[in-house]
C-alpha cells in the first residue's frame, strides 16, 4: 500500500513528483504529500484527499526545488488526515521521510523515543523512523538510515532527505518494492516502474536488505551493513503510452477492451499450431520435476484466487491432477501438508501481495516446487519462486483487476496443458484441438466487446438496485465469484456468488423481486442443472439475466434477459463469460458516478497483512 517517489535531476521537481504520484495513486489515495529542498530548507506540503488536491494546493502556493520526495497513502496506522499524511519530519525539521509498509514494533520504539525527548505529531507507525534518523544523524544520512532500520521490525520501503546534506536521497527496502530509475543526469526512486518510465526505461530493482543512495552523479547500492552491491540495470520494454487511457473514460474500461490482445500476448510463443505442443521451458522448473507432480496447490488472494479456481478445473480436467486452491491469508497460518510431488503455484498480478508472498515463503520452507504466475517482472514473488510464468498483460492501472484475471487464466490453462503434455495425459489430437480452440478465444472476446453497448443498456436498468446474486456451476462458478467481486469493488453494491446447486441449501431464501440474479449458463455438462436452478428463482419472482451461448434458443424462454456470448469448448468458456460480467459491473459503477479506477478503501497492491 502507498506509493513513494523521489527525484533528483535538472528538472523542476514538483511536476515530476506530481506526475509520478498520479501514476502511483492506484496504490493508495486517501492523502498525499511532497517534500522538496529549497535553499537549504525542507518544505513539506500534505493534503487529505487525492493527488489532485495536492496539485491544487501547490498551484495556489508553489514549492520550488530540483530534488524531493512524494507519497500517496493508503492508511494503516492513523486515519486519513493531513497530519498523518507523509512526508513526516523529525523534531528539528531538518530530516524528512516517506514510507510504505508497516513498522510492527512502533509502539515500543515510540515510547522509547518519547522518553528520550522526541515529540510525536502523528498517529502513524512511520513517524518513529524519522525520529530514529534524528537520533542517529551525525552528518551522514546513509549511516543514520542504516542505524535506524537496524531497530525496526516489519516491512518498509523508505526514502529520506536531510536538509544538511544537500542533493542526496537515501532509500532502503525490506518488503515493499523500490525501483530506481537511472536517467540521463536524473535519477528516481519509486514503488513502481510506471512512475519512472516517462523519464527512463533503465531501472534497478532493490532486493530486500538493500539501500540506494542517489545524488546528482548517479546511484549506488549497498546492503544494510554498508557493503557495496553491484546491481544489474534492466531495460523495461513497457512503453509510457501503455499507461495512458487512450480515449477510454476509465482505465478499467480500457483494460477490459485490451483482453483479446492480452490473451494473444500471454499465449505468444508458448503453444504451436504447427506442432500441437505447448512450450513452457521458460518457467525454470525442470520437465522431470513436472513429470513427477501428483498434486497441485494454487495459492492467491482476491481476483487471483478466482483465476486459481478456474485453473483448478482446467488442471483436473486436462491433466488429471488433483488441485486445491487456497486463500494465501489462510494457507500461511495452517499446518499444511505438502509432499515432495506437490506443485505449488502462487498467483499474483502485482507479485507483491504480502499474504501471497508469505505463503510462497512458507511453501518453500517445506521444499515444494513453487511456481509463480505474475504480471510483474522482478517482483518479490517472481524473484523468490523457483520458477515463473509471466502473464503478458501490460500495466493494469484500474484497481479492480480485469485483464490480469484473463491473463492469469490463460497462464494457468497453459500450465494445465503443459502438465498434460509432459505427463502424457492428453493425446496429440486432443491437445492440438484444444490449442486451436484456445487461439480462437481472442476473436470471440472481440465479438463480445463489440456488443458492449447492449450490456451498457442492460446495466442502465439496474443502477439503483442494492443486491445482486451471481450463479455459476463447475468451471463457471469462479467466474460468478469474480463477477460479484467486480460489482462490489467498484459500485459498492452488495453481491454474492454461489454455485447454482447450493441455492436450495439456504441462499434461495434471499430471492425476491429486489434481488436480480446473473446466471452463467453456457451449454456444458451442468446446463440442465442450471436451468433447474433458474426455474427455482423464477418461481420466487426473481429477475434473471443469463450469460449464455449465442445459439442457445432454450434459455430465452426461461429468463428475463440474455447476454449472449459466442460458444466455445466448455473449459474455455470462462474466458468469454467473464467479459460481460466485467462490463456489467463497470457500467453500473460508472452510471452511479463511482470512482471506478480508484474505489474507496482499496489499493491495487496489498503489501500489508
Query: Rounded distance, CA 547 to CA 108, Å?
Result: 55
Cβ-Cβ contacts under 8 Å for 111 (sequence gap 6 or more): none
Q: Verify binding: residue 170, ligand M6R, rule CB under 6 A.
A: no
H helix or E strand, kind and range, residue 548:
strand 544-549
Q: Verify binding: residue 608, ligand M6R, rule CB under 6 A.
A: no
Rule CB under 6 A: choose which of 57, 66, 126, 349 binds ligand M6R.
Answer: 349
How far from each other are the two terminal CA atoms of the chain, in whole angstroms?
11
Give all strands of the β-sheet with 323-327 in edge-to-edge order: 323-327, 295-300, 342-348, 369-374, 387-390
Bridge-partner residues for 171, per DSSP? 159, 212
| Of 198, 236, 204, nearest in space to 220 by CA | 204
Q: How far is the CB of 565 from ligand M6R (least distance, A)?
A: 21
Q: How far is the CB of 289 from ligand M6R (least distance, A)?
A: 25
Q: Which span sits near ligand M6R by CB under 6 A: 291-299, 301-309, 443-451, 543-551?
A: 301-309
What length is written for the chain?
609
Residue pair 338/363 in contact (Cβ under 8 Å)? The answer is yes
Q: Verify binding: residue 491, ligand M6R, rule CB under 6 A.
A: no
Query: Rounded distance, CA 21 to CA 17, Å?
Result: 6
Q: How far is the CB of 468 from ligand M6R (least distance, A)?
A: 16
Which residue number, 521 or 578, has a Cβ lying nearer to ligand M6R? 578
Q: Give yes or no for a cis peptide into 553 (omega within 30° of 0).
A: no
Q: Catalytic residues, which ones?
A: 2, 604
Q: Verify binding: residue 577, ligand M6R, rule CB under 6 A.
A: no
Residue pair 550/448 in contact (Cβ under 8 Å)? The answer is no
Q: Which residue is nearest to ligand M6R (CB)?
A: 302
Q: Verify binding: residue 582, ligand M6R, rule CB under 6 A.
A: no
Helix residue spans in 25-157 (DSSP H): 51-60, 106-115, 127-136, 141-149
Which residue number, 186 or 489, has a Cβ lying nearer to ligand M6R? 489
Q: Verify binding: residue 303, ligand M6R, rule CB under 6 A.
A: yes
Output the nine-digit C-alpha cell for 57. Answer: 494546493
Query: Rounded distance, CA 423 to CA 289, Å?
Result: 11
Output the nine-digit C-alpha cell for 556. Answer: 430465452
Q: How far is the CB of 381 from ligand M6R (least distance, A)?
A: 8
Which residue number, 43 or 604, has a Cβ lying nearer to ligand M6R? 604
Q: Verify binding: residue 606, ligand M6R, rule CB under 6 A.
A: yes
Which residue number, 537 or 581, has a Cβ lying nearer to ligand M6R? 581
Q: How far is the CB of 193 from ligand M6R (least distance, A)?
A: 15
Buried b (16+ CB within 10 A) or exposed e, 462-471: beebeebbbb
Rule CB under 6 A: choose which of 399, 420, 547, 573 binds ligand M6R.
Answer: 399
Which residue number, 325 or 431, has a Cβ lying nearer to ligand M6R? 325
Q: Verify binding: residue 301, ligand M6R, rule CB under 6 A.
A: yes
Q: Verify binding: residue 342, ligand M6R, rule CB under 6 A.
A: no
Q: Verify binding: residue 359, ligand M6R, rule CB under 6 A.
A: no
Q: Verify binding: residue 353, ligand M6R, rule CB under 6 A.
A: yes
Rule CB under 6 A: choose which of 57, 84, 194, 356 binds ligand M6R.
Answer: 356
Site mask for ligand M6R (CB under 6 A), range 451-490, x = bound: --------------------------------------x-
Residue pair 174/149 in contact (Cβ under 8 Å)? The answer is yes
Q: Verify binding: residue 302, ligand M6R, rule CB under 6 A.
A: yes
Q: Which residues bind ligand M6R (CB under 6 A)?
A: 301-304, 348-350, 353, 356, 399-401, 489, 602, 605-606
Amino acid at each position: 500500500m502507498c506509493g513513494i517517489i523521489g527525484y533528483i535531476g535538472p528538472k523542476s521537481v514538483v511536476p515530476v513528483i506530481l506526475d509520478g504520484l498520479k501514476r502511483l495513486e492506484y496504490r493508495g489515495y486517501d492523502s498525499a504529500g511532497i517534500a522538496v529542498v529549497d535553499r537549504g530548507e525542507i518544505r513539506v506540503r500534505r493534503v487529505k484527499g487525492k493527488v489532485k488536491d495536492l496539485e491544487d494546493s501547490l498551484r495556489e502556493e508553489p514549492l520550488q526545488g530540483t530534488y524531493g520526495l512524494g507519497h500517496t497513502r493508503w492508511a494503516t496506522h492513523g486515519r486519513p488526515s493531513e497530519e498523518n499524511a507523509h512526508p513526516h519530519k523529525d523534531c528539528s525539521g531538518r530530516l524528512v521521510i516517506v514510507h510504505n509498509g508497516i513498522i510492527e514494533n512502533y509502539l515500543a520504539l515510540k515510547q522509547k523515543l518519547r522518553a528520550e525527548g522526541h515529540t510525536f505529531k502523528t498517529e502513524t507507525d512511520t513517524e518513529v523512523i524519522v525520529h530514529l534518523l534524528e537520533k542517529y544523524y551525525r552528518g551522514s544520512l546513509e549511516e543514520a538510515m542504516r542505524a535506524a532500520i537496524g531497530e525496526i521490525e516489519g516491512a518498509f520501503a523508505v526514502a529520506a532527505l536531510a536538509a544538511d546534506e544537500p542533493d542526496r536521497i537515501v532509500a532502503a527496502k525490506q518488503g515493499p518494492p523500490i525501483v530506481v530509475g537511472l536517467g540521463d543526469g536524473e535519477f528516481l526512486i519509486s514503488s513502481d516502474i510506471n512512475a519512472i518510465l516517462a523519464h527512463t526505461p533503465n531501472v534497478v530493482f532493490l532486493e530486500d536488505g538493500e539501500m540506494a543512495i542517489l545524488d546528482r552523479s548517479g546511484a549506488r547500492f549497498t546492503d544494510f551493513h554498508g557493503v557495496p552491491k553491484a546491481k544489474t540495470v534492466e531495460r523495461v520494454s513497457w512503453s509510457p503510452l501503455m499507461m495512458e487511457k487512450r480515449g477510454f473514460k476509465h482505465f478499467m474500461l480500457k483494460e477490459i477492451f485490451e483482453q483479446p490482445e492480452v490473451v494473444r500476448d500471454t499465449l505468444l510463443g508458448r503453444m504451436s499450431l504447427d506442432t500441437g505442443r505447448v512450450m513452457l521451458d521458460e518457467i525454470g522448473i525442470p520437465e522431470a520435476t513436472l513429470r513427477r507432480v501428483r498434486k497441485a496447490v494454487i495459492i492467491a488472494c482476491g481476483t487471483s484466487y478466482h483465476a486459481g479456481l478456474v485453473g483448478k478445473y482446467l488442471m483436473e480436467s486436462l491433466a488429471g491432477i488433483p488441485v486445491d486452491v487456497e486463500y494465501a491469508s489462510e494457507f500461511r497460518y495452517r499446518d499444511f501438508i505438502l509432499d515432495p510431488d506437490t506443485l505449488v503455484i502462487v498467483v499474483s498480478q502485482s507479485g507483491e501481495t504480502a499474504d501471497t508472498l508469505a505463503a510462497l515463503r512458507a511453501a518453500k520452507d517445506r521444499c515444494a516446487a513453487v511456481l509463480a504466475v505474475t504480471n510483474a517482472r522482478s517482483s518479490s514473488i517472481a524473484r523468490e519462486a523457483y520458477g515463473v510464468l509471466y502473464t503478458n498483460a501490460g500495466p493494469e492501472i484500474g484497481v479492480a483487476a480485469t485483464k490480469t484475471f484473463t491473463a492469469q487464466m490463460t497462464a494457468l490453462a497453459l500450465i494445465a496443458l503443459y502438465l498434460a503434455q509432459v505427463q502424457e495425459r492428453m493425446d496429440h489430437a486432443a491437445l492440438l484441438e484444444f490449442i486451436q480452440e484456445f487461439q480462437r478465444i481472442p476473436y470471440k472476446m472481440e465479438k463480445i466487446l463489440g456488443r458492449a453497448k447492449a450490456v451498457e443498456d442492460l446495466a442502465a436498468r439496474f443502477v439503483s438496485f442494492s443486491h445482486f446474486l451471481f450463479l455459476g456451476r463447475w468451471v463457471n462458478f469462479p467466474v460468478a465469484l469474480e463477477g460479484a467481486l467486480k460489482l462490489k469493488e467498484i459500485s459498492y453494491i452488495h453481491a454474492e456468488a454461489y454455485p447454482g446447486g447450493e441455492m436450495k441449501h439456504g441462499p434461495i431464501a434471499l430471492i425476491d423481486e429486489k434481488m436480480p440474479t446473473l446466471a452463467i449458463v453456457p451449454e456444458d455438462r451442468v446446463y440442465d442443472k442450471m436451468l433447474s436452478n433458474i426455474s427455482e428463482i423464477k418461481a420466487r419472482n426473481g429477475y434473471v439475466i443469463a450469460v449464455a451461448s449465442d445459439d442457445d434458443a432454450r434459455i430465452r424462454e426461461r429468463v428475463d434477459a440474455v447476454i449472449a456470448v459466442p460458444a466455445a469448448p466448455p473449459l474455455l468458456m470462462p474466458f468469454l463469460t467473464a467479459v460481460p460480467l466485467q462490463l456489467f459491473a463497470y457500467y453500473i459503477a460508472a452510471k452511479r458516478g463511482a470512482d471506478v479506477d480508484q474505489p474507496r478503501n482499496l489499493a491495487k497492491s496489498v503489501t500489508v497483512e
